[in-house]
Structure 1
Amino acid sequence: MDTSVEIIEKSMDVVKTLQLINKYSTKKSTLNAIARKVMCSREREKFQNLMRNLDVHCEVQKQQCVTYMAGIWATKEALYKSMTHFIPPHDMLPAQMIYTKLFYKSNNQITGAPQVQIVNPLTTECQLLYEKYLKDTNILLSISHDGEYLIAYTSICAS
């Protein structure tokens, strides 16, 4: 049985979480503005719940909020980079639209592994891009975080 996977494109992104904590963790309005730029509504809802319960003096809670945001941000950046390598510029959507209207990051309910899913329903522009370039693909995601760095690695593979 052949278990090989054809990788169309791959990319990665690194976020320095310590910088996010130091720069933004006490400024909820700034974090919310960033969230609106990189998160779909489902991700923002979860982020809002984390923020609602945030005690800015609790390092563990701040780290949870920042790790959640950094994981989504790095995932979306890595996906966008991958897409720009095989989707022609005239068909590529703006980064913010791809971040907020096309993909969302979640975790497998059984294994907890990070995964990328397609927003449903898609806007017309996203639907056209999806049908033309992404319909017959699988997106693989690996996230690693240690200390002050979080790395997201994505592979867009032929199904």
Structure 2
Amino acid sequence: MSEDHAHHDIDNTPRNVVELVINIDDTTPELLASLQDKLMTQGALDVWTTPINMKAGRPAVMLSVLAAPEDQDQLAETILRESGAFGLRHRAWDRTTLERSFTQLDSPLGPFTAKVGHLHGKPIAAKPEWRDIYQLAQQHNLPLTAVQNELAAIVHQHLKQLQDRAEGRTS
């Protein structure tokens, strides 16, 4: 069923982050998607958009970028160069995150990566990585939801085994 092939190093995401924000009312969806891709490639931790209304009722999009403080200047430059905006807002955030580890698991559709979240060294959450769900669905010509459900069941079983092990229970 599911076999743990490799346990990758724990990924400790930054505790202190910055959020860069601009409101955009004069771009196309294609340009916005390209900007989001470029920001992720340059090291943004996350990029998202929120529909908003600006003055005079103009529909617009708020682009938000979460980044490590050391990436702020480069990402701000990219936003200003690529968006046509004349300025942006930024603020610092402290955050609490789970420690993350990654493991390779087997499924009838093929191997995939699962992300496991740890709190105080104990596993409390897990899920399959989206890129693997997508790739396996494409490879087998299956609906994304079917692959997601199948892999999630395997990950759930793996998480239970990790939790039992952490609590000293044997299965």
TM range (shorter): under 0.3
TM-score by length of 1: 0.28
User: In proportion to residue count, which structure has more helix?
Assistant: 1
- Higher RCO (CA-CA < 8 Å; seq separation 6+): 1
Richer in strand (by share): 2
Given the two structures, how large is their TM-score scaled by the length of structure 2? 0.27
